[in-house]
Every structure is written in structure tokens, then in C-alpha cells.
Structure 1
Amino acid sequence: MDHIFTISKKPTKSLNSYKQNIFNKLEKSIVCSISSTNVVAFSTESNLEESGSLFWSSNVYVADLNSPWQVHKILSNSSPVTVLQWDFTGELLLIGDEAGNVRIYKTKDHILNEWTLVLHTTLQGEHILSAAFFHSGKRICLNSEKKDSSSYNDKFQHLKFACSVKQFGGRPATGALLLTTTGMLAAVMLPQPTSQSPMIMATESLGPTRIFVKTADICYGKNGHFLLAVSSGNPIMPIQCYKVSVKKMEEKCEIQSQCLLSFYLFEAPKEAMMDQLTKDKRCSVNQIKWIMREDADSLVVSASSDKMSCLQVWELREKAVPVHKSLGKPETPQFYNTVLWQYQCHFQYNSKVTSLSTSKLSLINSPSSGYIVVTFADNTIHCLYKDSLKPIVNTKLSMTPRYLEEPNAKYQKIDTKITNIDMSWLGNVLLIVDSDDSLHLFKLPPQIDSSGPLTVPYCTTILEYCLVSGLDWLDLLLVLRPGSLDALCDRLTESFNRQPAAVQQFFYVQYLCVKISLLRLTPQGVSKANDLSSFLMLHSISTAFKSLLRPSEMNSHEKSPADSLASVISEGQSDVDKVLMHLEAKEFTVEPSTLQSLQQLIQWVADLALNLLIKLPDSRPSSGKLYELLRDVSALNMLREMLVLIRIWGLLRPACLPVFIKSDGSLDVLALVFRLLSRLVQNVNEPDESLIDECCLLPSQVQIQPLQQTNNKIALACSQFSQQILPLHLEFNNEPECLAASTEVNSGQTVDSIRHLYLGRTPRTIKQCVRCGGAAGTVPVTRTAAIRAWDQRWFRSCQCGGLWRMQVYT
């Protein structure tokens, strides 16, 4: 369990002891949560921008896990925040507090540091204790019987799982179920984006009468219902369970609650420590969690006093109870099957439990997979097996407060404790927030086989699961061993190439994003990652250009224009004008206004072709299996197809042609580049000497604009991260210089990585990717249908899959 980083507030001079003692005695209400997109949300009880402020406030911040020092404040609240909950997509964030306020936020135009309030309601006089978003009904697991299969369709199975609330047509509704400390249930349902109807809300009592609830947890049942486990905090009182269903009836919402079986902690056999705890007046049940969030078969409960604690696991088991012979047939013994809670195991420790976390996803449909992480008041962190509570690994979080210009002898002793923890969705990292508003990240053992280190087959399976499920894989990148990256890339490529053509086409872009992120983790792979990024952009441009082509009315429609172009290109013709003679002109006709709006993309394609050709004389065939764009025949043929399209469209609209600065005005650059690429395709591994000589002459014939690379982002998932001594000591709102690229080349110009426009030396406002650092302009350009479709392709995220962040320079 390696400590990856610690992020703290800006060091300040120590507070006087009187004020510090007051702050320490206040009960902390600090929570944290990681979304499926690896965005961290956490609350603090101080302002991170003004670390020396003595005014109390409960603030909610968000940050991407790849650059966690860049935080953005969503809310500054007058009441302590008690609940932070993400939905399954990672787009909605629910915030609940002690005053009964419920807020649901969403990013504005998918910008990480701009959020809008989509719902706000208040439950007067209530303390929000727990919340869960409605389940969408989608659940994907690894098929344990076919986990070694090469086919994604066999390896991963879509399990039958009902959505929590159905709307018209069986569509899943968007909303959340809330529980308060007085035992009140509340369901809030968001209206459809296209609907003008108001929010729907309903309330109901959890039990027949209102009860006091100190700790609770919510999980999902297979039939669309919720299951709640609640405790009043008294260890001699039962742990009560309820089945809750939410239904939408026209424009109203209805909640139904039903009592289920309960159990008593002290009924666990042979637990002397539990007997001591129940007799201790200061003992309370302070944590309760369902072991699997999408399965209601087992619970873990912690009872703690100041000096000791005990964790128990209880499971629902079916038991055959004998029926008395007077009530059944006397000839054969009769049994009645019933379901009851059965004690499984326990874990004892001589310190108070401060936080408890279980795996969010079960990659294998089995309760034995995954683990439980628990933290104690002595700042120890224990990782335990789910089914037996046997320790896997444990560590201790050592925290030393930092103050500005103060010698060690004058450091004030501050009792900093772990207040809350949360696992990432894939279970690779653990986030910890402490009472001093600092964040800590720890590496966790593998979920499926936690007895050993990360293996290449396991990592490959996790990356394939991310491809199929759509989850983000950043947390896996932070725990990979650099020595296994080459083998991982090879295995992932081999596995992907064995998939059917339709499956490859569907997941192709996401697959390229995964490979690019893996290659950027090593210094040797950065240039390969840049090549793969260029190919990803070329593939996207090719798809966009071919989508503009329409078959002519006289055609038999046996072949699309794109297929006709590909078949002509495959014949190996090196004269671009002769290629045009084999194509139907009407099929490649596009409106001149549309062509003009695509000029910058056309220019980028031509610049890419020139940059590849001038690299040929110095290039040598790669000895490994890493990707190199200059040796990819399919990429070179795709580039030739684009040059043919550009040639045709230039006849329709000459202004859309790429601009070249030539030494000879009569030189036809497009024809020359097409001819050189055609010769290169014939033998990419051993090009002939005459081709290399012509490529050497290119820089003297035409001025070649170098392509702007975007891998200049200071982030954790980079090649410099593996060279650092962990843990990293970071500071909020301060980029770490140790992660900056030592060979970073800055041309002084900011280039739009999506539209391929120059934005100037210091643009006032840009969108910047939080993963790769790519920039995108915010000022709209010529709005044709084609360019709108192109912008919409990158509206939600960058081409690498990272979220956008608005960057304003003053």
C-alpha cells in the first residue's frame, strides 16, 4: 500500500494555541468521493485559497485525479456538508448538509471548473445522512468462467439488473434517494432535459414510526429496489434493514418502505471484545456498509469506543428449518426454507474506527472479490478481505504540519486525524482526506487477486473492462510498474486485434486513447504516443471527411464513395491526377461553403504528410513493437485518400486548398507528396535510396510547418512520475515543478488542438485538457454543418479522453 502523494494547503504561520485548540475540539464533517471519471470531490472546513482565514465554512472542491492540485470550489456552505455522491456517469454531483439542503450540480458545457445548479431543495429540520442516485439498469461483470476468452463478448457479460425508477417506455429516470437522521426518506427526480416540467419530489417514513438513525448505507437490489441498513448507534439495538421502492406515477412519485430481517451485533459467537464494547457506555456503532453496492447479501458493521473497535461481517443465508412431525407428514422429515442473517467473521483493533470503504464495483460477480479498507484513530489504514476480514496489508499515515518560516522546534502539535476515505471505481487507489483539509492517495492491491502485485494479464483485463464499460482508467495508470508497460501494450494490442471487425470499429477510438496514455508513462514512449495521437486525429478527420460524401443517384449503391476511393488507392497508383480518372466526380461533390470551413483541417493533413516525409531520411525501423506512424501502411493509405479528396475539393473550391510557401512557384506540392507517399507505401521498412534523396530535398522546395505536440501538461500520469521518490508533497493551486517535462519545447504560440488554428501567443480564454494539456478555442468560427459536427465530436472531452478546463489569462 504505497503512499503516492499528499496535497496540503499553503504553509502559514501557526495559529495561537487558544484558537487552535478550539478548531481541534470541533467535530469535523469532512467527506470525499471519487467519480467514475476519476474526478475527486471533497469538502473542507477552511478556504484553500485563503489558508490563514479563521472564518469557518464548509466548502466543496473538485479536481481531476491527474492534476489534483488544480482545485475548483463549487460551494461555500454555512452548514457542514455530510454527503457527497456521484452518479454512475460521473456527470452529476449531489451535496447534502446538516440543514437539510440537497443540491445537485452538473458541469456547464462539460467544463470541469464551471458548474451549474440543476436542483436545490430543502428538507426543513432534517440532517441528510445518506444518498444514492437511481440505478440505470446497466451492469457489466467479468465472466469468471470465460475470463481467459479472447472475445470481449464472451469475456464480459451484461447482467440482468432492473433500473431503480422507470419512466414512459421503460426508460430509467434520473434522481436520488435520500435518508435523514430522523428516519425520513426523500426521493427527488430530475426532469428530462427537453422537458419543461418541474422537479418531482416525495417523502416517506422509513419505518412505521420515525426512528433516530446515526449511520446508514444504501445499496441496489436486482429488481430495481433499494436496500437500506440503518443503526441508531447503540450496539445493543438491532441493525435494521429495509426494502425501499420508488415509483413514478404520472407526474408524481411514490415511495414504499418495507421492514426486512434485522440482527444484533452481540449475538455473534465467541466475541469477548464485543461483550466489553456493549458494556462500555462510550461504545457506538459508527460505520455500516454493504459489502457489494449492487448486491444485498452481506454487511460490514463497526462498533467502536475510544480505545477499541470491532468489525463484523454478516451475510444473508438460506437455512432449512425442520418442521415438527405433528405439522408435516410423519413418514418423511419436513423442512422449511427461510432466510436469516448469519455472522461470518470479525476483526478487532485497539483504536477507534474513523472511516470505512468498500469496493464500488464488483468486477467478478462474486462477493469474495474485492476488499474492505478501514482507518482508525491512530491513523493506521488496514486493507481486509471481504469474506474473511483477514488482513491483506496495512500502513500508517504520518502527517507533519508545515508552517511558514518556523523551525521544527516551534511546530505546534496538532492532532490531525483521518476523517474520510473513498476508493476509485476500479479499486486501484484510495483517497484520504484528513482533519487538516489535506488529501492523500494510496495504492491498493489488485481487486481480483490481491495476494500478489499487478500482473500484465490482470491490467489487460482491467483496460478491456474500461473499453467495454466506458469507465476511466487513470487510477490504473498511477499504480502501473514502468517495466511492464511494453508487455502490457503488446498484450492489449494482440487481444484487440483478435476481436471481430465490428467490435474493433466500435471501440477503436477509445482503444487508441488507452494506448496513448500508456505510452506517455515512459520517456521512450513519448514520441510513439505523439505518433499515435497524430494517427488518432487523422482517423477522426478521415471519418469526418468521408461522412460528407454521398453516392450519386445513378449509382447502383453497391459501393459507397469511401469504398470506391479505398479500392482505387489500394491499386498503388502514384499519380494523383490519374487516380481522379477512376472516380465518379458527382460522388465527391461538396458545397463550396462547407469546404471553406474545413480549410484548417485540410491544412493539417497536408502538414502531417510533409512532416512524415522529412523524417524518413533519419528514421530507422523500430526494433520493438511500439507504434510508429511512418511504418503504418494503413495510416499512410488513409493519408493518401485524404490527399485525393483534397485534390478533388480544390477543383471545386480553390480557396480550401492548403497553403504552401514554395521555392518554385510551378511546383505542385500535393502531387509531389502523393507520389512520395505512394512509393513509401510499397516498402515502408526499406525505402529505396532515390525516395530518401527526394525527401531530403523537400525542406529546400517547400517550407514545412512543424506540428504542435500537446504533451506539455504537468500531470501525474507522465513519464517523470516514475522517476520521483514517493510520496510526492504537493500544494493546492501550485503546479509541481518536479513533474514538468525537461525537454519541453514551446514555440510561443498557442495552437487549437481540435480546429488546428493559431490562437496567438497569449489568448485570453481557452479550454485546456486536464490530461494532455491540449488547447481549444472558445470563440466560434464559421458555423457550417460540417464544422458544427466536428466541434461536437470534442465537446464532451479532449481527443485523449480528458475533461476540459477553462483557462483565463489576465
Structure 2
Amino acid sequence: MEMLFAVQRKASNGLNFNLENRCNVSTKCKVSTTNICAFTRNTEINDTTNTTWGFHTYICDVNTPWYAYKVTSNAFPISVLEWDIAGKYLLIADISGSVQIWIQKDNLISEWTQLYQVNFHEHIIRAVFFHNGRKILMLSDKKDISHYSEKFQRMKFAPSVRQFGGVAAEGVLLVTNTGMLGSFVIPNESPLSGNNPNGNGISGPHGPFTLPRVTESLGVIRNHITDADISYGKNGNFMIAVVNGECTNVSSIMIKCYRVTIKKQLDKLTITSQAMPSFFLCEGAGRDIPDLRVTHLKWASHEDSDSLLVGTKCSAGSFLELWCLVEKSTPIHKLFQNPAKTEVFKFATWAHQANYRYTSVMRDIVTSRFYFGNSAYVFVAMADNSIHCLHRDTLKRG
């Protein structure tokens, strides 16, 4: 790969304190499908004296990243940045449980308006927008064709939530660090539309519209969670993987998986969570390492995934492990079988497939949304400022 350009902040005139490391606040970055990048900073971009300490969100076009525009400043550290599939809405969530939905004002990248707000009063660690039921597949045998209508194919995919008439609903599903699920629906009529009496997106003099929310426990018992990831299921459900990375006993580190379904009846949402097969990390590559800790969870694909990437760290560096959900069978005792045929009991279980080891600590994992056949890639950012491109199915360097 070849670097096209690099953008750096202005040099500081005073003491250059590393405020990010001192306050344990990590930088968040998310790129939309419209090539707009949202990222967080602890000081304003033009600040050269380190006097604007806070939690700021900026956006820029990936083609002109030297022009960055401020969206908002937050009172608490930002824990989640997320775009919807169309790149229309920007979600900003923080450790206090506040969720903000922002949109471009008059289609200007330099001006943003907050439409909605929801407060869950818990540390939010992961959030996704509902799937709209439109899945695009890139055809590998037609990648050189100039017409985009022939290069891409639309696949059948169920929306996450259906409303009246089977139309896909817009909304958000999120997970907190105590194992709570939260969700809300974004209204069809935008406050910026002419049909709304408050056309500026503000509910009277008090600020953005506050949306009603629903909550549900992820599991039977709510446990502490440090990381989670959410994937879309082809039947409209969500696949959620969670872990407590602060567990000090390696043999007790368990990756828990759930299938979550959201249904809308009239104006009320209902969340249903079902436990799926889980696995212990001690069965993987780091089973003999006493100081192993889980730092990252990532589904190998955003849609209809049965593979999970697990990032861990230890004193010797970091591991990236690939786990796949496979189907196994076991014979049934003849006393319980049908005499006319031999029956087997089939069940799903997680199996360790591959691992990748490096001497530096892992910072982030990113998977590609489009891929050609078996040429899907996983990109891993390390603490030594290196980026590793790995084949998704083998975790070998590309």
C-alpha cells in the first residue's frame, strides 16, 4: 500500500502534554459510506497552547482531510461514534449514557445540527443503527466493468425492524457496560422538514427532541462488560458478542454471544435476547499465558457473520485470534433412535481457526465491508504505529 498524504495538527507553543494518555481517553474515528470521517480530539484543532481541553468531535472529507469542521464539544468522554448505513445520521455517545443524533444542515459539511437526544444513564460501549434491508454485493468477475449497475448486485436481506406495511424503520440498538440493551426509533418526519412546526430541529427553547427509549437485559444476569461488537443477521436479528476484559483469571475469560431481536408494534419497541453458544478463551492460542487480557472483539463481517475476531494482549505483545461457529454432530444412543434410520444430534460450537501474534499492543481492528470472493481483509493498528493487513480467513499477511 502507498500513503497518499498525511495531516498533522499545529505544533504547540508551550509544553506538549500527552493529555490523552494521562486521562486514559482514547481517540474515536469512524468513516461513513459517503467518505466523511468523524473523529474525536481532546483539544481543538487550532489550539497551540493546550487550553481548550475537552471532548470535541470533528468531521472532514477523506479527500480533503486538511479541512476539518467542528461538530460539537461534549461534557464527558465520548465512547462511541457511529454512522448509519446511508451516511446520513451521526451518532455520538458518551460514558454518561447520553446519545446524540446529528445531521448536516442544508447539506453543508461545515454545519451540523443536533436532531435528537436520548439518555440511558450508563456507560455506552457499542451502538449500531438498524439495518435498512439493502445489502450490496460486489461481483468479483465484473470488477473491471465501468457501469456500476453491472458491477454491484443487490442481495436479499431482512431489515432489523419493520413498521407498518413492512417498511424498514430507522433507529439504534446499543449495549452498555453493565449488560443492558437499549433502543429507540428515529421518527420518519425529520424536525428539519417543513411539516414540523419547529423546523430548526429544536423542541421549543429547551434543545433537541428527546426520543422515547426501551431497555432490556442482555442476559439473565447482568455482568460487567468492557467490549462488545454487533453484527446484522440475515433474518433481521442482531448478533452480539461481549467480554469482560478485566478478568484476571485466563481460564475464566468467556466470550458470550447473543441473538437479539427487536419488534415494533404500533409505537412500542420490544427487545428479545437469546443466549447463543459461547466459548472460553483458554482453548485458544494464549491458553498458557497467565497475564492474557482481552482488548478487542470484532465480527469478521458486518452482515450475516459466523466468525469472530478476538484481540488480546500480554507482556510479550498481542494476539489476534479467529474463531468460527461450526456445526458438529454426535450419535444418539440406539435406545432413543428410530429403528428405521440412524440419527445424529447436531449442535453449533465455536472452533479456533487461526491466530496472529505481534510484539506490540493492538489498538484497533477494522474489517472491510466489500470483498471479492475469498480476498477479504482485516486491518490491525498497533501501538508502534504500524498497520497490518491480514487475510480474513487465515490471518496471514496480505
Q: Is the 1:314–1:344 Cα contact (8 Å) retained in structure 2?
A: yes
Aligned equivalent of 1:182, options 157, 178, 183: 178
The DSSP-based 3-state class of the residue aligned with 2:134 is coil
Report Cα offsets for 1:60-119 as digits up to 9, x if no partner: 001111211111111111211111101111111000111111001001111111111111
Q: Tell me by how many angstroms 1:10 deviates.
A: 1.2
Q: Does residue 293 in structure 1 map to residue 302 in structure 2? A: yes
| CA 1:22–1:30: 2 relative to 1, 3 Å | closer
Which amino acid in structure 1 is aligned with residue 219 of structure 2?
Answer: G
Distance in 1 between the 2:44 and 2:339 partners? 75
Secondary structure, aligned partner of 2:305: strand
The answer to whether structure 1 residue 242 and structure 2 residue 250 are counterparts is no
| 1:45 and 2:57 matched | no
More helix by share: 1
Give the corresponding residue for 1:264.
Answer: 280
1:292/1:362 contact within 8 Å kept: no
* Secondary structure of 1:6's aligned partner: coil
2:346 — aligned with what?
337
Structure 2 counterpart of 1:211, one-letter code: N
Which residue does 1:168 correspond to in 2?
164
- Structure 2 counterpart of 1:29, from 21, 26, 39: 26
Separation in 1, partners of 2:104, 2:323: 39
Distance 1:153 1:102, change over 3 A: closer
Is the 8 Å Cα contact of residues 306 and 351 (structure 1) preserved in structure 2? no
Structure whose CA Rg is larger: 1
Percent identity among equivalent residues?
A: 39
1:23 and 1:39, CA in 2 relative to 1: closer, same or farther beyond 3 A?
A: closer
Q: Is 1:77 aligned to 2:74, yes or no?
A: yes
Q: Show CA shifts across 1:284-323 (max 9, x none).
A: 1110000100022100001112432111111111222222
Q: In the alignment, what sits opposite 1:228? A: 240
Cα separation, 2, equivalents of 1:150 and 1:191 = 38
Query: Scaled by the length of structure 2, what TM-score is found?
Result: 0.89
* CA distance 1:59–1:154, change in 2 (3 Å): closer
For residues 62 and 211 of structure 1, do their structure 2 counterparts lie closer, same or farther at Cα, with a shift above 3 Å needed? same
* Structure 1 residue 153: Cα displacement: 6.4
Cα deviation, residue 352, structure 1: 1.5
Gaps of 5+ in 1: 393-810
SS of the residue aligned with 1:51? coil
Per-residue deviation, 1:221 = 0.3
Match in the other structure for 1:13 = 13
Provide the rounded CA distance (Å) in 1 between the counterparts of 2:323 and 2:366: 16
- Please name the residue that 2:222 is paired with: 210
1: distance between equivalents of 2:52 and 2:144? 57
**Aligned AA (1:232):** N
Q: Which has the higher contact order (CA 8 A, sep 6+)?
A: 1
Contact kept in structure 2, 1:319 and 1:340, CA below 8 Å: yes
- Deviations for 1:490-514, whole angstroms, at most 9, x for unmatched residues? xxxxxxxxxxxxxxxxxxxxxxxxx
Q: Which has the higher strand share?
A: 2
Partner of 2:206: none
Tell me how far apart the structure 2 counterparts of residues 210 and 149 of structure 1 sit (CA, whole Å). 51
Find the partner of 1:96 among 65, 76, 93: 93
Q: How many Å apart are 1:210 and its aligned residue? A: 1.2
Q: Count residues in correspondence.
A: 378
Please say if residues 142 and 150 of structure 2, whose CA atoms lie closer than 8 Å, have aligned partners that are also in contact: yes
Aligned to 1:284: 293
Whether the aligned pair in 1 keeps the contact of 2:171 and 2:183 (CA below 8 Å) is yes
Contact 1:201 1:252 in 2 (8 A): no
**Shift in Å, 1:149:** 8.5
Change (3 A) 1:23 1:85: closer
Tell me which residue corresponds to 2:327.
318
Q: 1 CA distance for matches of 2:397 and 2:117?
A: 42
Say whether 1:362 aligns with 2:362. Answer: no
Determine the structure 1 residue equivalent to 2:385.
379
Cα 1:379/1:340, change in 2 over 3 Å? same
Matched, 1:118 2:115: yes
| Structure 2 partner of 1:520 | none
Cα gap change, 1:123 to 1:261, in 2 (>3 Å): same
The equivalences for 1:716-755 within 5 A come to none
Choose the corresponding residue for 1:255, options 267, 271, 274.
271
Shift of 1:146: 7.0
Cα separation, 1, equivalents of 2:329 and 2:359: 38
Matches within 5 A, 1:662-741: none
- SS of the residue corresponding to residue 287 of structure 2 reads helix
Q: Give the corresponding residue for 1:580.
A: none
Equivalent residue number for residue 123 of structure 2? 127
- Compared with structure 1, are the counterparts of its residues 9 and 264 closer, same or farther at alpha carbon in structure 2 (3 Å cutoff)? same
Tell me the C-alpha RMSD between the 2 structures: 2.3
Q: 1:23 to 1:33 in 2, by over 3 A?
A: closer
1:358-437 equivalences in 2 (<5 Å): 358-359=367-368, 361-364=369-372, 368-392=374-398
- Whole-angstrom distance in 1 between the partners of 2:379 and 2:18: 30
Matched AA of 1:4: L
Alignment match, 2:211? 199
Contact 1:200 1:253 in 2 (8 A): no
For the 8 Å contact 2:13–2:48, the answer to whether it is kept is no
- What is the TM-score of this pair, normalised by structure 1? 0.45
From the superposition, tell whether residues 377 and 253 of structure 1 become closer, same or farther in structure 2 (CA, over 3 Å).
same
Question: Following TM superposition, by how much is the alpha carbon of 1:255 offset from its aligned partner in structure 2, in angstroms?
Answer: 0.9
1:788 maps to: none
